[in-house]
């Protein structure tokens, strides 16, 4: 199960992808008002803990 914070990252990624067709760390950081290193950390965590 993912945390509320991780869920917010996924929602933001989905919305940005729907709007622009691509998603960059900079876009996520801007939309969520957080730092790029925070986004990178969250993305690495989500990638490493995904289930197939």
Q: Considering the entire predicted model, what is its pTM? A: 0.88
Domain range enclosing 19: 4-48
pLDDT digits (tens, 9 = 90+) for 1-52: 789 999 999 999 999 999 999 999 999 999 999 999 999 999 999 999 887 6
Number of domains in the chain: 1
φ/ψ (deg, to 5) at 21: 85, -5
Q: CA-CA distance, 7 to 29, in Å (whole number)? A: 15
Locate 1 and state its tokens: 């199960």
């Amino acid at each position: 199960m993912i945390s509320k914070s991780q869920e917010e990252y996924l929602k933001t990624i989905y919305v940005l992808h729907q709007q622009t067709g691509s998603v960059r760390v900079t876009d996520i950081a801007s939309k969520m008002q957080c730092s790029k290193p925070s986004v990178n950390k969250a993305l690495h965590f989500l990638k490493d803990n995904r289930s197939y």
